[in-house]
């Protein structure tokens, strides 16, 4: 079967064409065990009639021409042909319509019995390589664009998710007497993935339509587009070990090339951060015009430092950087962080300087971070390399990987009060070390429990998928990807490619990897705060406690909208709760205490909810004006692994109290909708992790 595919594709390429006609495409598919309606080639009316008589009525006739890709649009398809006379007439009409085109013949094939119409396709993405697409046909794909994508190769779990996440999936499970053989559909999707893996010259593919039946399926039409064989993308298992970057994050010595004694200069900022945060390793300021900086001996050049240096931070002009990089390499520096700007982001001249640096670093086997970044912050070894001055930080369990250095550093000023970062790594232009290198390293750090990423692009897409898929089973990853409105690439030949916008591909890949995609910075940090401070809910039931009925109703609506539900307490727990409730309170969930709510009654109510098997999480709506009174009370509750998030309307006017609550480990959000969104995302992630772990277990 593989040999047949190679012969067909080789012949097409020898003729200088990329488009495989329908009979060629179906022959390849059938060779791999995929069921089609067939496509026998007739080059005369008599041949067409002979084929018709061997197949039996009804049949379809279709033009076969390397010049005609979209046969239906060009009038090259005749359906439901039922007699020899109709076959002759259809053959003549198609032949006449395509005079002047290069005809390979006319396909005669059996008409497929009606079924649920679907489309399965393949397109190429510049970042993630071949992508498999699935959707229902007709209005679902043409108008609603109700399709799902996954990076190839896919797993059986990927196929399950692709089928489940389209809006039309309910039709496949059974609707008004119609249903689809889900197992057969999954086998088809896995086979297409396997074909593309084994034939890297396949660039695009459309199986459209595919008729799905209660028992099996049939591919009615197919086209394959060839291209240059894809270069193999590195996977996670072929990448350098994450431990190779450990000393970049936990160095014993750091040199700052361009360190300055002049306040306001970037070299002063970086060295000041390292000194004031009390970096525990050895520091070497490099400045030919200074004898000492911060009382620490300065050296004219890094080659003058008397012992090897783990990490060198470079803060000189772009034009000088290659020379400095080479000197660092010659001196045995293991890691170089180029925080200077003025490289590829400014044009070709800067790109050439980058290539010089990369060539030098590669020659010596030295890893390079940046350029155009703000270095690394690791609170667990008191190392702050930021080009912006950073105030005191606590040792935290959140890892942040940011492509924008200044952005990451600038946000710390406020976020450090309510979020505890352990590691912040900025990657800049990603000349060498990229987001996946950092992700793999940070994920192995025992101090980090949740990872946030701000990305503008991804290098080595398949390796990113493989690494993230493994990491998300242990630690949640929340990603904010910018550039959502970038126009997706279009391809005339492939319907699948025309549906694959750049941003949708990223969303689908994140789902495939188990990554949580954030809508904006506030959403990302809200999720990070919740996940870093609270466990993931293991059931759907939510218990709402509020002092304001309207906010309780809004919270109830929000959890329903997000796929959660109100927890229904067991009878004995309801009886205990009734003893707490004032006479004017009738509801058991949400519990609305109105103006009688206080810290003690909230604590007792939560303790009842903790004992319920129906309660998976808590939303507690608190008054901003007395927020401080709740801190100690809530802090002392044993929630038994059930998360709680507080909602405080107007919290921006009570920030000192909010900070105390956050420091006590309870996230504080502004609206019930934000809380419900976070809890639902956390619950879905917890369910996916359980499902994926179960699928991997023997």
Contacts of 165 (CB under 8 A, 6+ apart): 148, 511
Q: Which of 154, 147, 56 is nearest to 110 (CA)?
A: 56
Cα(161)–Cα(318) distance, rounded to whole angstroms? 47
Contact between residue 382 and residue 280 where contact means Cβ atoms under 8 Å apart: yes
Q: Which of 623, 586, 592 is nearest to 605 (CA)?
A: 592
Q: Which of 533, 539, 537 is nearest to 449 (CA)?
A: 533
Cα(81)–Cα(88) distance, rounded to whole angstroms? 10
Cα(319)–Cα(622) distance, rounded to whole angstroms? 57
Q: What is the CATH number of domain 535-691?
A: 3.40.50.261
**Interior CA angle at 37 toward 33 and 42, to 5°?**
115
Q: What is the 3-state secondary structure (H, E, C) of 61-125?
A: EEEECCCCCCCCCCCCEEEEECCHHHHHHHHHHHHHHCCCCCCCEEEEEECCCCCEEEEEEEEEE
116-235 adopts what CATH topology? D-amino Acid Aminotransferase; Chain A, domain 1 (3.30.470)
Position 664 scores a pLDDT of 95
The token pair at 605 is 């109510």
CA dihedral sign, ordered 493, 494, 498, 502: negative
How far from 645 is each of 153, 669, 686, CA to CA, in Å? 39, 7, 17
Give buried/exposed letters for 586-606 (b at 16+ CB in 10 A, else e): eebbbbbbeeebebebbbebb
Q: What is the pLDDT of residues 611-652, one digit of tens each?
A: 999 999 999 999 999 999 999 999 989 999 999 999 999 999
Position 241 scores a pLDDT of 47
Query: Which spans in 425-548 are helix H?
Result: 435-443, 461-471, 495-499, 502-513, 521-533
Cα(682)–Cα(112) distance, rounded to whole angstroms? 45
Q: What is the mean pLDDT of residues 260-279?
A: 95
Position 483 scores a pLDDT of 75
Q: What is the pLDDT of residues 73-84, one digit of tens each?
A: 888 999 999 999
CATH classification number, 242-459, choose in 3.40.50.300, 3.40.50.720, 3.20.20.70, 3.10.25.10: 3.40.50.720
The number of angstroms, rounded, from the C-alpha of 137 to the middle of its chain's C-alpha atoms is: 26
The token pair at 629 is 């009174």
User: Whose structure tokens read 């896995």?
Assistant: 190
Average pLDDT, the chain: 91
pLDDT for 512 beyond 80: yes
Contact between residue 454 and residue 478 where contact means Cβ atoms under 8 Å apart: no
Q: What is the pLDDT of residues 566-584, one digit of tens each?
A: 999 999 999 999 999 888 7
What backbone torsions phi and psi does residue 199 show, to the nearest 5 degrees? -130, 80
Contact between residue 312 and residue 257 where contact means Cβ atoms under 8 Å apart: yes
The token pair at 284 is 């070497």
% of the chain with per-residue pLDDT over 90: 80
Tell me the domain boundaries of the chain: 2-110, 116-235, 242-459, 535-691
2-110 adopts what CATH topology? Dna Ligase; domain 1 (3.30.1490)
Contacts of 506 (CB under 8 A, 6+ apart): 458, 481, 517
How far from 219 is each of 26, 109, 153, 655, CA to CA, in Å? 8, 12, 21, 61
| pLDDT band at residue 407 using 50, 70 and 90 as cut-offs | low
Q: What is the mean pLDDT of residues 456-465?
A: 92
Are domains 2-110 and 116-235 of this chain identical in fold? no
Q: Which range has the worst mean pLDDT, 158-172, 190-204, 404-418, 454-468?
A: 404-418
What is the number of H-type helices and E-type strands within the chain?
24, 31
The token pair at 412 is 């710390």
Q: What is the pLDDT of residues 4-48, one digit of tens each?
A: 889 999 999 999 999 999 999 999 999 999 999 999 999 999 999
């Amino acid at each position: 079967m593989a040999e047949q595919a190679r012969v067909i594709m080789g012949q097409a390429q020898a003729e200088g064409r990329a488009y495989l006609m329908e009979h060629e495409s179906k022959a390849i598919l059938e060779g791999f065990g995929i069921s089609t309606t067939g496509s026998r080639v007739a080059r005369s009316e008599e041949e067409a009639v002979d084929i018709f008589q061997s197949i039996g009525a009804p049949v379809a006739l279709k033009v076969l021409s390397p010049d005609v890709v979209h046969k239906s649009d060009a009038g090259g398809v005749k359906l439901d042909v039922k007699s020899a006379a109709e076959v002759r007439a259809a053959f003549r009409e198609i032949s006449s319509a395509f005079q002047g085109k290069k005809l390979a013949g006319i396909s005669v094939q059996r008409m497929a019995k009606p079924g649920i119409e679907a489309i399965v396709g393949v397109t190429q993405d510049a970042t993630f390589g071949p992508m498999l697409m699935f959707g229902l046909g007709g209005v679902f794909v043409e108008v609603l664009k109700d399709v799902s994508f996954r990076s190839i190769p896919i797993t059986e779990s990927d196929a399950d998710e692709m089928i489940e996440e389209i809006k039309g999936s309910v039709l496949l499970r059974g609707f008004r007497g119609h249903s689809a053989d889900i197992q057969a559909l999954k086998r088809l999707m896995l086979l297409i993935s396997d074909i593309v893996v084994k034939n890297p010259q396949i660039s695009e593919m459309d199986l459209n339509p595919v008729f799905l039946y209660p028992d099996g399926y049939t591919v009615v039409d197919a086209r394959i587009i060839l291209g240059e064989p894809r270069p193999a993308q590195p996977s996670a298992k072929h990448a350098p070990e994450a431990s190779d970057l450990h000393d970049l994050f936990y160095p014993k010595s750091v040199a700052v090339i361009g360190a300055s004694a002049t306040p306001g200069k970037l070299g002063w900022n970086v060295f000041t951060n390292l000194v004031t945060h009390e970096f525990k390793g050895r520091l070497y300021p490099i400045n030919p015009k200074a004898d000492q900086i911060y009382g620490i001996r300065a050296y004219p050049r890094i080659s003058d430092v008397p012992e090897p240096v783990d990490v060198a931070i470079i803060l000189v002009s772009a034009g000088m950087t290659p020379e400095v990089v080479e000197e660092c390499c010659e001196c045995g520096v293991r890691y170089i962080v180029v925080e200077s700007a003025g490289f590829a982001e400014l044009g070709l001249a800067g790109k050439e300087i980058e290539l010089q640096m990369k060539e030098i670093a590669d020659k010596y086997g030295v890893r390079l971070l940046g350029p155009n970044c703000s270095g690394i912050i690791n609170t667990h070894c008191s190392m702050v390399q930021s080009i912006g001055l950073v105030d005191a930080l606590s040792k935290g369990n959140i890892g942040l990987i940011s492509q924008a250095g200044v952005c990451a550093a600038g946000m710390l000023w406020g976020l450090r009060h309510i979020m505890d970062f352990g590691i912040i790594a900025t990657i800049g232009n990603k000349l060498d070390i990229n987001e996946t290198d950092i992700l793999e390293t940070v994920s192995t750090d025992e101090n980090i429990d949740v990872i946030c990423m701000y990305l503008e692009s991804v290098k080595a897409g398949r390796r990113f998928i493989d690494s993230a898929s493994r990491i998300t089973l242990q630690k949640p990853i929340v990603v904010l990807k910018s550039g959502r409105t970038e126009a997706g690439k279009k391809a005339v030949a492939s319907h699948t490619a025309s549906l694959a916008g750049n941003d949708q591909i990223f969303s689908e890949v994140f789902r495939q990897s188990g990554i949580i995609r954030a809508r904006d910075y506030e959403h990302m940090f809200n999720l990070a705060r919740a996940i870093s401070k609270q466990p993931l809910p293991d059931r759907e039931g939510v218990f709402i406690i509020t002092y304001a009925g309207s906010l309780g109703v809004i919270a109830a609506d929000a959890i329903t909208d997000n796929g959660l539900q109100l927890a229904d307490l067991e009878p004995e727990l309801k009886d205990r709760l009734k003893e707490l409730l004032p006479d004017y309170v009738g509801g058991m969930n949400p519990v609305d205490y109105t103006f009688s709510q206080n810290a003690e009654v909230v604590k007792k109510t939560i303790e009842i909810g903790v004992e319920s098997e129906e309660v998976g999480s808590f939303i507690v709506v608190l008054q901003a004006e007395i927020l401080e009174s709740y801190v100690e009370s809530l802090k002392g509750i044993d929630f038994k692994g059930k998360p709680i998030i507080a909602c405080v309307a107007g919290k921006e006017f009570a920030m000192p109290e909010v900070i105390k609550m956050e420091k006590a480990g309870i996230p504080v959000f502004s609206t019930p909708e934000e809380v419900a969104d976070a809890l639902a995302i956390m619950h879905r992630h917890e369910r996916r992790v359980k499902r994926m772990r179960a699928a991997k277990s023997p």
